[in-house]
Structure formats: structure tokens, C-alpha cells
Amino acid sequence: MPPKNAASNSFDWMVVKPSLEEELTLERSIRSIEDCDNVDVLSQLCVAMVRQQWHQGKLLKQAVGHIALLDAVLSGGVRKS
């Protein structure tokens, strides 16, 4: 729980702040994809990324719903049964 005197937006936790190392790792991955000439490899990568994106989207939706419920319970807006 944040300190009572801390001015904060309730959505600050959603701001993504990658480290320099993370940014460089991402850029290296992007460049290796851009440099790939093998259509089969690129196709397999796209399929894997679509599946992963779908799974992560579902997981994120569930997590945000759970966080919202916990926030409501902690703020007294909802009584947990």
C-alpha cells in the first residue's frame, strides 16, 4: 500500500519502463527477425506469436479483473464473500 502522503495515479503501476538492457535485447530480437529470409521460419514465428499474444491477452484480462476486485475490496467498495 502506498504511503498516505504520496500523490499517485491509481494506474501508475501500468506504465512500462524497460531498462536499457531490456530495450537492447528487444532491438536485437527485432533485427534478427528483420534479417531472416526463410519464409518457413517467419511463418512459424508468426504462428507462435499469435498463440502467445492470445494467451497473454487472456491472462492479462484475468489479472486486471482480479486486481480490480482486490482494489475494490481493499477500498471498501465491495465485500468479499
pLDDT digits (tens, 9 = 90+) for 39-71: 999 999 999 999 999 999 999 999 999 999 998
Q: What is the DSSP letter of 77?
A: S
pLDDT in tens, 70-80: 989 998 876 65
Q: Which three cell numbers stand for residue 69?
A: 476486485
List CB contacts of 10: < 8 A, sequence separation 6 or more.
Answer: 71
Q: Residue 9's pLDDT is what?
A: 73
Longest dimension (CA), the chain: 57
- pLDDT surpasses 80 at 1: no
Q: What is the reported pLDDT for 32?
A: 96
pTM score, whole prediction:
0.65
59, amino acid identity: L
